[in-house]
Amino acid sequence: MDYKVEHIGIAVKQLQTSIPLFEKLLGSPCYKTEKIESEQVNTAFFLQESSKIELLESTDPSGVIAKFIEKKGEGLHHIAFEVPDIIAEMERLKKEGFTLLNESPKKGADHKWVCFVHPKETNGVLIELCQSI
C-alpha cells in the first residue's frame, strides 16, 4: 500500500513558545489549534504543501505526551500516514504481525479516525494511521 505522510507529530513542552518558533522556522502561520480531551493534549497544526506538522502539548502531567517528554525530551513523537480505509489497514497490519495500540479506530485531532502501531515493531518510531471522518 502506498502511504501518504499526513503529518509529523512533535512533542513540545509549551505551545505558547513553540508556535511562534515553528511559525518563524516554517515561514507559515499556525492554522489551527485543538484540544483533544481523550488524549490529554493540545495540538497546533502547520500546513506544509500536502503534509502537516502537528505540535503536541500535554494537558496533564501524567499524560502520554508529558511522559514522553520526561523520558526522551521534546522532539519527534510520531509519523502519521493517511489511509483510505483504516479498518482494512488495521486488519492487514495485524495479519502481518504488528501490534496495534488500540483495537478500533478512535477520534483524533483534525477530524480524523486514528490508530497507532507500537513502536517496538517499527524501529522505535510510533506510527499513526489516520482517515478523514
- Going from the C-alpha of 102 to that of each of 44, 75, 106, 108, 119, the distances in angstroms are 23, 23, 8, 12, 13
Say whether pLDDT at 3 is over 90.
Answer: no
10 strand-pairing partners: 55, 76
Q: Is 113:106 a contact under the CB 8 Å cutoff?
A: yes
Cell of 100: 496495534
79 by Cβ neighbours in 10 Å (0-12 / 13-18 / 19+) ranks as middle
Q: What is the pLDDT of residue 1?
A: 64
pLDDT digits (tens, 9 = 90+) for 21-57: 999 999 999 999 999 998 999 999 999 888 999 999 9
Q: What is the mean pLDDT of residues 66-92?
A: 96
- Going from the C-alpha of 25 to that of each of 29, 114, 128, the distances in angstroms are 10, 28, 24
Say whether pLDDT at 2 is over 90.
Answer: no
pTM of the model: 0.92
Say whether pLDDT at 5 is over 70.
Answer: yes
